[in-house]
Amino acid sequence: MKRIILTGETGSGKTYKAINEYNNNKKFIYLAPCRQLVYESFIEYSEKNDILNTGETKIGGNGSMFAVYESFNLNNDYTEFDSIIIDEAHFINDVDRGNHLWNIINKYNNHDIYLVTATDSLDRRSFKNFEHIHLKAFFKTPKKVEIDVNQFYDNIFEHNMFSIHFCRSIDDCYDMAEWYNDNGINAEAICSATPPAERLRIQYEFKRGKIQVVCSTNILAQGVNFPAENILLPADGWNTDELIHQKLGRLGRYSLCKREEVYYATEEFIPKKISKKRPSKVKEKDNTGIYVDYLEDGIYENGGHKIVVENGIIIENTFPAHEIISNINYINPDNYTDIRYVKNFINFIHGFVSHKYNEIILNIKENIKYHEESIRNLIIELRNERRDKGVIGS
C-alpha cells in the first residue's frame, strides 16, 4: 500500500497531482476540513458519477467520494475505494479533529493514503512508513508584504484591490460588509450562518472579480482558491500559527492574482514557528442531561439512533450534543443558523412527538430540503460549466 505525504508551495498542484496522477483511473475518497474546500474540489475535479457528502447536501453516484472529515464513517469498510486523500492534513495536530484522522490512517491499512498539506507540521516520527514528496510552484509566487491596517484600507478604497477581511465573529462579518457597501465598496459576508448556496455563490463571484471584498470568519482559512491581493488578520485568541499560515495562503494564488506583490495587515504578532505536537485524546462533549418537553418518558430507537428520556430529561442518546434541540418552540425554521445542524435529529424525533409540534417540524424539514437542493443545484451548474469549457472530465 502507498503511504505518501505530499507537501508544496501554494500553486504547486498538490491536489491536482493527488487526484489526477496518483489516483488516475482509481476510486478514491477525498477528505477536507471545510465544506467550501470540498465543494470547490468536487466542482474542479469530480467526474460525472462521483459522490458528494458534506452534511449539508449529498450528490449520489458510484464513483469517487468528496466529503468533509466528519462524513467519513469509521464503521464502514470502504472496500470499494482504492485510496484515501486527506487534504489539509496538518489537521492531524488539531485537538478537536486530529484523533478522527489518526483513526482513519491507522484503521484503513488496505487503502493507499495520501496526506496533502502546504503547512508541513507533521511529526515524521509518527509517519516513518510514509514517503515524503515536495512539489515546487509552477509560477513565480508574489511577494507577501506586511503593511499597517490603514494601508490595508487604502488598498481597497484607493487601489481597488480584491481583499479578504477576516473578522472575529459572525456579527462582525455582517457589520463590516454593511459598512463597506455603505461606503461604495461591493462587499459580502460569508460565515457559518450564511446559507450554503449563498456561500458558494459569494465564493465564485469573488473569484470572478464581481465582489471586491469578502468579510469572513475562519471559514475561508483552509485551502480555498480565493484571488486575494490584500488581507486583514484580526487580533483574536483563535489565530494559531498554523491558522495564520493558512490565511496567508489565500494571497496571490496562481491564475487568480497577477500582482508581483500582495499585502497583509495584522493586529497581532504572527508566530514564525509551526507547532508539531500530536493532540491528546479529547473528551467528547456530554450530550445527556438535556431537558426536552416534546418527548414523553421512554426509549426511542430508529435508524441506528437511540434516545432514553426519564423525567423529561435525556439520560442516554446517540446524537452529538450540537444536534439536539432542547426546545422546539425556540427554533426559527427560516433561520439557517437555527436549523443547520439538526437535520438527522429532526428526522428521528418526527415520528415520536405529539401533533402540536408537527407544523414547526415540517417547516424545519422543508427549509432544510430547500437549502440542500439550492446548494446541490448550484454545484451541478458550476461543475457543468467547467465541463462545457473542457476543463474537467465528463
CATH number at residue 80: 3.40.50.300
Do 80 and 98 belong together in one domain?
yes
b (16+ CB within 10 A) / e for 240-270: eebbbbbbbbbbbbbebbeeeebbbbbeeee
Residue 386 lies in a domain: no
Give 352: exposed, middle or buried? Use CB within 10 Å, 0-12, 13-18, 19+: middle
Contact predicate 55/71, CB 8 Å: yes
Residue 366 lies in a domain: yes
Residue 121 lies in a domain: yes
Residue 272 lies in a domain: no
Residue 60 lies in a domain: yes
Instruction: Enumerate residues 6+ apart whose C-beta is below 8 A from 190.
Output: 173, 198, 199, 202, 203, 214, 215, 216, 217, 219, 220
Do 107 and 10 belong together in one domain?
yes
Q: How many domains does the chain have?
A: 3
Do 68 and 181 belong together in one domain?
no
Do 133 and 171 belong together in one domain?
no
Partners of 228 in beta bridges: 251
Contact predicate 49/102, CB 8 Å: no
Do 181 and 55 belong together in one domain?
no
Cα–Cα distances in angstroms (integers) from residue 304 to residues 63, 301, 326, 340, 375, in the given order: 26, 7, 21, 21, 27
Do 221 and 303 belong together in one domain?
no
For 355, list phi and psi in degrees, rounded to 5. Answer: -65, -25
Last residue of a domain, one of 138, 167, 198: 138
Do 120 and 166 belong together in one domain?
no
Structural domain including 322 reads: 290-372
List the chain pLDDT tens, one digit each, 394 residues: 899 999 987 667 899 999 999 988 899 999 999 888 899 999 999 998 999 999 889 998 999 999 999 999 999 999 999 999 999 999 998 888 899 999 999 999 899 999 999 888 899 999 999 999 999 876 677 888 899 999 999 999 999 999 999 888 899 999 999 999 999 999 999 988 899 999 999 989 998 889 999 998 877 766 566 778 999 888 766 666 666 666 766 776 655 567 788 998 887 554 444 343 444 444 455 677 899 989 999 999 998 899 999 999 999 999 988 899 999 999 999 999 899 889 999 999 999 998 999 999 999 999 999 999 999 999 999 999 887 776 544 3
Last residue of a domain, one of 114, 138, 162: 138
CA angle 69, 74, 79 (to 5 degrees): 105
CA gap 137, 375 in Å, rounded: 32
CA gap 212, 89 in Å, rounded: 30
Residue 383 lies in a domain: no
CA gap 88, 34 in Å, rounded: 10
CA gap 311, 296 in Å, rounded: 8
Do 29 and 121 belong together in one domain?
yes
Do 112 and 192 belong together in one domain?
no
Do 187 and 171 belong together in one domain?
yes
